Amino acid sequence: MKLLSIFLIACAFTFSATAQKYSNATPANVTKEWRGLSFSSEKSLFQNLDETDVFSKSAPLFKGDIIADDAMLTAFVMVDSSFSELDEDAEESLFANSWKKFITYHFIPGRVDSNSIAKAIDNGDGIAYFNTVLGQRLGAKRENGDIVLFDSDGNTAKVIATDFYHKNGFFHVIDGLLMPNIE
């Protein structure tokens, strides 16, 4: 019995020592292409967006201290054509006065991929709600097979591309503007 115990301890030590030599502390860079653009998990959200002309209006909103270095967030990033619905005064007002609330409404905590969003919709009988970083709810549903986000005022944005990594999580591309309740 004593010999068997010594053998088991020796085996456990050998297996744990050899298993550790294959661990990698450096995370792999994950890249994904969309419309000829390449996005990388090694870059911040702003760095990924700033290198393109598809996000020239929204990229500056994601600059600066919007995301803490240790935060893990999923962002919904609007393409430039989304802003065409706003007249010049409304766009100027949005960027000048309430852009932090506007942009933090487009973040949800954690790394939430498109499969998780779809599963939440299915589990919620066709509608899912996510709490945003701003502290307000953002809705998600399916329309004609697409995931569509909606706010409390009925504004909608279709998710047109999914599952891009950035240094602090994921981002998905949307084709509309979602507005938080701004008091």
Give the domain CATH number at 85. Answer: 2.30.180.10
18 lies in a domain?
no
Spell out the residues 6+ positions from residue 182 whose beta carbon is closer than 8 angstroms to its own.
98, 101, 102
The predicted-structure confidence for 121-138, as pLDDT tens digits, reads as follows: 999 999 999 999 999 999
**149 vs 61, more confident:** 149
3 lies in a domain?
no
182 lies in a domain?
no
The predicted-structure confidence for 3-42, as pLDDT tens digits, reads as follows: 655 555 555 555 554 444 555 566 789 999 999 999 999 9
- Average pLDDT of every residue of the chain: 87
**Total tally of structural domains belonging to the chain:** 1
Range of the domain at 126: 29-174
The predicted-structure confidence for 37-74, as pLDDT tens digits, reads as follows: 999 999 999 999 998 899 999 998 888 777 777 789 99
